Structure 1
Amino acid sequence: MRHPIRVLVPALAVLTAAGTLTGCLGTEAKPDRAAALPSSPTPSATATKAAAGSIGAPGSACDLPVSFGLAADWKPEAVKATDDEVFAALGRQGPATMVCEVDAKPAGNIGYLRVWTAGKGPARTALEGFVKAEKNTSKVSYKETKAGALPAVEVTYTVYNKLMEESKEERAFAVAAPKGTVIVHLGGLDSAEHRAMIPAYDLARSTLKPL
C-alpha cells in the first residue's frame, strides 16, 4: 500500500509564525471562541474511546518505532526529511526530526499531532532538548507518566505567537522505545483548539506500543 509523503517546501516558511507546516490557515479563519476559558485543560472522556485506526506499523501511513491509535477522522501523513534550509527550520527541533503529522482539520479542529524521532537515548533528555529549541516558551512543566505500558515523560508549556500576539498551550510526551526515542507533540492554532484536541493526544498516549 502506498501512502502520501509530505515534503516540506520553502512556501511553508511563511506559516511558521502561526505554528503550522501546511496551508491550513490559507482559507480558514480563526474560530470564534468564548472569552472565558478554563485555567487548565480537562481531557474529555472521549479520550478513552476505541481508536478509529492506527499508525506506526509497517504498511501504515507512517512507519515509526512505535504504534498508537488515531481518533476518528484524523488524517496521518509521513514527512520526508530533506537537507534544505526549510526542513532544517521546520522539520528539525533540537535533537528531534519530524517523521509524521496527523491532521485534525477533517475532524473539525485546526492543529496537528506530530511525531518526532531522536535516536536512542533517555526520553527526558530528548524532550528537554526539544522544548529548549522552541522559541518564546514559558510555564514549562515536566512530569513522569506512562505511554501505554512504557515509562514516559510529559511536558506542558506555552509558546508566545507573535503573529496572533498571544500565548498558546502546547504539550508533548516522549518514550525511549527499543528502536529509538519518540516524541509525540500536540500544538494547535490557539489554546482553545489545543484543549479541544487533547482527547486525540490522550488516545495516542494510552494506546502506544513499541515495535
Structure 2
Amino acid sequence: MRHPIRVLLPALASLAALGTLTGCLGTEAEPDLGARPAQSPTATSTAGTAVATEVAAGSVGAAGSACELPVSFGLAADWKPQAVRATDDEAFAVLGKQGPATMVCEIDAKPAGAIGYLRVWSAGTGPARTALEGFVKAEQNTSKVSYRETKAGALPAVEVTYTVANELMEESKEERAFAVTAPKGTVIVHLGGLDTQEHRAMLPAYELARTSVQGR
C-alpha cells in the first residue's frame, strides 16, 4: 500500500506528519533551501551516473550509535539519524512498513539544507534482491523501475532506481534504494526527497552511505 503521506498531503505537511512518528521534528528550525551539503571531489557511479561522494562526518549502525543496524555506514555532515521504534499504532502501520520491510532508522537531511531522508528498513534475513523487489512492488504509482547489481562497501548489493507519480502535485519524482544482506540481516537504504531536484541534491550523501557500508 502506498504511503498516504506521499500522496494525500502537501509535501511540507507530509514531512511534519512523519515527524510525529519519530518525535524529532518539533524542535528543528526551518531548512535553508538554498544551502547544500559540501561535496568532496571523489566521484562514484550510481545507476550509470557519476555522482560526487560526501566526506563522512559521522557514522550510524554500530552499537551505541543513534540506530543500531545489521550494517554501519558513513553519514554526511549535519545529517541527523534517529531510531524508529516499531509500534502497533495505526500511524506506524501505514508509514513504518512497506512490503517485507520495517523502518528502523530515519536520517534527516533538513539540518544539512535539503528536504528528504535516508531511511533504513529491516527486511529479515532473505536475499537482498527479493527484499528490494518486494519493497518496490508495495509502492504504488511507480514506473521506470530498473535494478542493477552493485556493491555496498565490499558487500554484494542490489540497487533500484524508479519514479513515483505524485498525483497531488501532478508530477513524478525520482527515488532509489539499495539492499544488502549482512550476517545480522538484510537492510534496505532508501532515498526519496521532496521532488527530483531535492533527490538529486542528496545523492552524494546516499552514495557515501552505499560505498561505506560495513557488515556487523
Whether 2:198 is the aligned partner of 1:186: answer no
CA contact (8 A) 2:6 2:166 kept: no
- Hey, which bits of structure 1, 4+ residues long, moved more than 3 A? 13-16, 40-44
Displacement after TM superposition at 1:43 (Å):
4.7
Any idea what SS the aligned residue of 2:202 has?
helix
**Code of the aligned partner of 2:207:** D
Displacement after TM superposition at 1:88 (Å):
1.1
Displacement after TM superposition at 1:14 (Å):
7.0
CA contact (8 A) 1:15 1:22 kept: no
Unaligned runs of 5+ in 1: 1-12, 33-39
Displacement after TM superposition at 1:190 (Å):
0.1
* 1:1-211 → structure 2 map (5 Å cutoff): 15-17=5-7, 18=11, 20=15, 21-22=18-19, 42-45=49-52, 47=53, 49-211=54-216
| Residue-pair matches, total | 189
Displacement after TM superposition at 1:42 (Å):
4.5
Question: CA-to-partner distance for each residue in 1:97-155, whole Å, 9 max, x for gaps?
Answer: 00000000011100000000011010000000000000110000000000000000000
Question: CA-to-partner distance for each residue in 1:34-64, whole Å, 9 max, x for gaps?
Answer: xxxxxx995542x0x4310000001000010
Q: Mark the CA change 1:171 to 1:196 in structure 2 (over 3 Å): closer, same or farther.
A: same
CA contact (8 A) 1:43 1:199 kept: no
Any idea what SS the aligned residue of 1:127 has?
helix
Any idea what SS the aligned residue of 2:19 has?
coil
Root-mean-square deviation over aligned CA pairs:
2.5
**Code of the aligned partner of 1:206:** T
CA contact (8 A) 1:41 1:195 kept: no
Report % sequence identity: 74
Displacement after TM superposition at 1:84 (Å):
1.7
Q: TM-score, normalised by structure 1?
A: 0.83
